[in-house]
Structure 1
Amino acid sequence: MTAELIGTSAVLASLIGLTRWAQTVPTRAWGDGSTGRARALAWAVALCTLVLQTAAAVAATGPAAGVALVIAAWMALGWLLVLAMNLWPQAALRWAMCLGALGGAGCVVALGWLLVRG
């Protein structure tokens, strides 16, 4: 696997955490302002996503580039997700969840491949 493919997976994985977060805060399109268990679950998913994508990005590109990639992904895709969910709420939710799952699966496969490869 190439560093570009792993980096792309790490970027797309941020949509997992961003989507879960957007569904638990009061937003015009998706969120209901959930409290308690739903909000704690969203934070846990966001944290696990952050760890997964950082591990994949650092393994592929090195520590400085990996951390910078993850921070930039959360900032850029967060902005784009807010824009998309206000313009096309249902389509944005569907695509964000699919692309996030694809990116997360790519990170898991990449980490497994790097682990097996040694």
Structure 2
Amino acid sequence: MGFEMALKRRKKLTLIDKANVLESSRLWRETVQAMEKDYPDVSVEYELVDAAAMRLIQWPKAYDVMITENMFGDIITDEASVIAGSMGLMPSASLGEHTSLFEPIHGSYPQAKGKNIANPLAT
């Protein structure tokens, strides 16, 4: 799905992982590398999560489509929401081939009630 999204955007895909330490991240890399040949128009970069977290703060426009596993994605999306201005106003999407789930990135956030800092529609 990441490759398909990249084709519709700036044709750039970044895999965020920790392949220098985690076997599961090495599997992610192998999988993306195997798929890469089927998408010659998409530029693919591989970046360690700690470097990506730093680079996202310094050069957020350097990224287009980012793919990663849940734990790293949770951290990176929270960081990106701060760059955008507020975690309370960001949408979240868990995309599947046939079914997707959309929600505010902050989840349940009763502390925001009446403060005009959260977006219950995630738009």
Q: TM-score, normalised by structure 1?
A: 0.32
Higher relative contact order (CA 8 A, sep 6+): 1
Higher fraction of helix: 1
Q: TM-score, normalised by structure 2?
A: 0.31
